[in-house]
Amino acid sequence: MTSIERLDGWKSAGVISVEQHTLLTALVTRERFSVFVELSALLYVGVLSVVGGLTWTFREYVVNLGDVAILAILTLLMVLAFGYCFAKAAPYSNAEVDSPTLVFDYVLYFGCLIFSGTLAFLETRFGLFHGWDTHLLIAAIVFGLLAYRFDNRFVLSLALSTLAGYLGLKLSVFDANHADRLRGVAVLYGSFLIGLGALLYHFQIKRHFLETFLQLGGNAILLALAFGSVDGPYLNYYLAALVILASVTIYFGIEYRRFAFVAYGMLYGYGVISARIIEKLAEPTVTFLYFIVSGSIVLFALVVIARRFGRDE
């Protein structure tokens, strides 16, 4: 029996989906197949590396180049990047809009990083914003506007993450040692993102952005509850809240066929419960066996769910 015949048999038996059969057949017969995701990741890393190289160069040679020259270079790069994006982009629409060119998203990402670097340079050299919190807030607002104008979920994630950094920095100014307050702000921030995403979805404004809001908001809440479950005076309350939220996340992840949310719920729940259990285990051997058995069960469950999602789709 040839490999193609085995693949045909697996497809007929429902072991693999039609899409999986097509991909594996292409691999076996050495046909062309898509490497879009891998190339995209490499290009994003390449853009980040270029910006990192520029930052290092400016930092090392700031005395020789001078502030005016560096600002001129940064401004020119921003004008070129954003000018290209505005020239190539289709008119704004509340619906999903495809990228006009293959390099469009990377040029936009490059422009955002240069903009953030320019703000950082202005703050470092001239103290223009009187604190890094203002720098982060400006960057978050600009990234958010660009994300919606150019329909880019990656830039939207950058905006929401930068906003989280702004809130964390603002809180640390007032009370750097109050961990519970920081967790509370994280929960409120995550709830705000989920609520904002649901509101924009209701008004049919970039409805495909909802999953980005849910992922970042859900992770912010789960992470805050996870840290509260293992540290602080309210361990059991945080643990109960985490178990409930993780269960809800898993349920809706399965209901709406979003494997990422199933994985979030299972991994956060497993991690915190395991941390509480190993506190009671005195023997290293028992602890090791616990992780082997429980980790295998969780991994097996994730594989089964992932396969079921792929098969049904």
Which tokens belong to 237?
Answer: 């309350």
Domain assignment present for residue 87? The answer is yes
Q: Is 77 domain-assigned?
A: yes
Distance CA 166, CA 61 (A): 29
Residue-range definition of the domain harbouring residue 94:
38-174
Q: What is the pLDDT of residues 173-209, one digit of tens each?
A: 445 456 777 888 889 999 999 999 999 999 999 999 9
**Residue listed under structure tokens 């028992």:** 286
- pLDDT for 12 equals 77
Q: Within a domain: residue 16?
A: no
Cβ contacts of 100 within 8 Å, gap of 6 or more:
88, 89, 90
Total domains, the chain = 1
Q: Which residues, other chains included, contact 247 with Cβ-Cβ below 8 Å and sequence gap of 6+?
A: 265, 269
> CA dihedral in degrees (151, 153, 154, 159; nearest 10)?
90
Q: Which of 293, 298, 295, 239 is nearest to 263 (CA)?
A: 298
142 domain residue, yes or no = yes
SS (H, E, C) 197-233: HHHHHHCCCCHHHHHHHHHHHHHHHHHHHHHHHHCCC
Q: What does the pLDDT look like over 80-134, one tens digit per residue? A: 999 999 999 999 999 999 889 888 998 999 999 899 889 988 888 888 887 788 8
State the CB neighbour count (10 A cutoff) for residue 291.
Answer: 13
CB-count burial class (<10 Å; 0-12, 13-18, 19+) for 60: exposed
Residue 35 has what pLDDT?
Answer: 44
Residue 96 lies in a domain: yes
Q: Is the pLDDT of residue 288 over 60?
A: yes
What pLDDT digit, counting tens, does each position of 21-74 carry?
676 666 555 444 444 444 455 555 665 666 666 666 666 665 567 788 888 888
Domain for residue 297, yes or no? no
Q: How many residues does the chain have?
A: 313
Classify residue 52: in a domain, yes or no.
yes
Give this prediction's pTM. 0.79
In-domain check, residue 53: yes
Question: pLDDT tens-digit profile of 289-311?
Answer: 888 999 999 999 988 888 877 54
